[in-house]
Every structure is written in C-alpha cells, then in structure tokens.
Amino acid sequence: MRGLRSRGGTIAAVAIAAATAAVACTALTACSAASDRSEPTPTQGATVAAFYGDSYTRGTGTSSPERRWSSLVAAERGWFEFNPSVDGLGFVINRGLGGTDLVDLIVEHEPPPDLVIVTMGLNDNFLGPSEAGDLEAAIGDDFERFREELPDARLVVVEPFWYTDERPDSVERIIGWVEEAADRVGADHIDGASRWLEGHPEWMAADGIHPNDEGHAEIARRLDVEFERLGL
C-alpha cells in the first residue's frame, strides 16, 4: 500500500515532476495513532464542518483524537466535527481504501455540511509520473462535486501538508494543481501549510512522519489565524 501509512516497511516516494525527485521514507510506524470516534448528533444551529483529509487530519501521531487539529479548531468555534479522514489517502492514491469514498460520505452526510475543509494531497506525492494526469483531473473532480452537491456549503481548501525539509518537485506541482482547482470552483484557499512544520522536529511524533500533540496544536494555531481572516 502506498502513501503514509501506520505500518512498518520502506516506501520509495517517486516525484511526479521528474524521476530524479524521489524521497525515501522508512519505518512508517505510528507511535500513538488516534482512534476513530462515533459521531454524535449536532446540536440545533451548530455549524457542521466536514474534513476531507488523510492521516494528518485523522490525527495519527496524537495522544488522543481530541488533540488533533480538526478537533481543536472545531471545539474552539463550537462546530460539529465530521471527520472521516483515512491514513494513507490521497486524491488518487489508495482511493476507496476501506471500501467507501470519503467524498460520498461528506456529500451524503445528514445534516448537510455547512463547511467543507480540504487538506488532501500529501500522499499523492508517492504516485508515479504516469499518474500525473489522473491526479490533476481527480483534484478538479472532487472540488467540482463538493460545489455541485453541496451548493450552500463554504468550501475551504488548505495547501497540502508536507513533512520533511526536503521537498521533491511534486510537492509544488500538486500545490499548484490544488490551488488552481480551488480557484475554478470559487473556494477559499489557504496557502503555506506545507511549511508550517518545517524546521521543528520536536513537533513530530516518534515515527518522524506525523505531527504529535504539539504539531497539531501548531497547525490549529495557524488555521485559527486563517479562519479568522476568512470570517469563519
């Protein structure tokens, strides 16, 4: 299975932009993966916020789900959090992992989300160059589906996260495709997120891949500033 997963082994990260831009990752073992929780019913009038992401949004690496950044920002704002994010997932890579597509879960959620926050894209750096066209198309398809099937929802797209100071060419390419697709559907875009953890190994869990409680607190702090700017 490709992508950042909570399993031992070695993964060769092949950059989409060029075969020479590869990144090696080893021993992807989560030190304390957050467990999934059953979702309660939102209170009357609460903003329903849906999160579309991977292990960074699911909270792998935190000591408990309540310490992941999505739960922190939702609690701060009184949002109802719907977070079906899955480890190792991307717009293309491992799509359908677990038998259910996350976009289906989000657009079919009742009550419909008032806000959709997208943080997908990190794991797609592990695709091969031949899959670049499929990836660019999939990004656009997901955003268009959110816009068409949830016309009243606010769509916020966050620049894909990244986890090392070294950045293969694919990182910037995927960032560009995500921003362009967000612009086409009129979504709000938050840039810079791929560098929020850069230079701070103390914010990473023992696996060296996922942010720990401190890292998630930093992501939440950064997003708090951005959400304030967007009036959320």
Structure confidence by residue, pLDDT tens digits, 103-133: 999 999 999 999 999 999 999 999 999 999 9
Structure confidence by residue, pLDDT tens digits, 56-91: 999 999 999 999 999 999 999 999 999 999 999 999
pLDDT value at residue 22: 30
Rounded to 5°, the CA angle 134-3-103 comes to 55
C-alpha to C-alpha distance for 14 and 143, rounded to whole angstroms: 25
pTM (2 d.p.) = 0.84
- Is the link from the previous residue into 111 a cis peptide, with omega within 30 of 0? yes
Structure confidence by residue, pLDDT tens digits, 7-24: 333 223 334 333 323 333
In the chain, how long is the greatest CA-to-CA distance?
Answer: 53
Long-range contacts of 182-186, Cβ-Cβ distance < 8 Å, separation of 24 or more: 182/118, 182/143, 182/155, 182/157, 184/140, 184/143, 184/144, 185/143, 185/144, 185/146, 185/147, 185/155, 186/147, 186/155
pLDDT value at residue 34: 46
Kindly list the structural domains of the chain, giving each domain's residue range(s) and its CATH number in brackets, ordered by start: 10-229 (3.40.50.1110)
Structure confidence by residue, pLDDT tens digits, 180-232: 999 999 999 999 999 999 999 999 999 999 999 999 999 999 999 999 999 99
